[in-house]
Amino acid sequence: MTTTIMVQPRAFGDGTLPYPWFINASSFLVGRQDWWRGKPYRLVGFTVPDQPYEVLLRPEEWADDVGQAVGMVPVFEHRDADGSGYVTWGQMVIDRVSVEGGGAA
């Protein structure tokens, strides 16, 4: 069974809860590509909002203790018809993280 890590960003100012990301614990690919369509495609790591150009927590380190990402923002690789690139989602501060299926990540 595949282990998936659910990453939930904090609610927006109006209380709307953003859609979570479901990350494959071994490949770090973002699930639900029928929804995301390559934006985002793969988790590159996490950083803090005031350091958007430096990955401070790599996925391999994070998978051992997923709670480390709370309070940080994700850095993703995007892949779509326009090409690929890396994007820091600076507005999406992580609120909570959980591991689903297949045991511990």
Taking phi first (over 0 means left), then psi (-120 to 50 degrees means alpha), and beta for anything else, what does residue 40 get? beta
Nearest-angstrom CA–CA distance, 11 and 94? 10
Mean pLDDT value across residues 69-97? 88
Measured CA to CA in angstroms, residue 26 lies from 1, 29, 83, 87 at distances of 12, 8, 24, 21
Comparing 43 with 64, the larger pLDDT belongs to 43
Q: How many whole angstroms from its chain centre is CA 65? A: 14
Domain ranges for the chain:
4-100
pTM for this one? Answer: 0.86
pLDDT digits (tens, 9 = 90+) for 21-45: 999 999 999 999 888 888 899 999 9
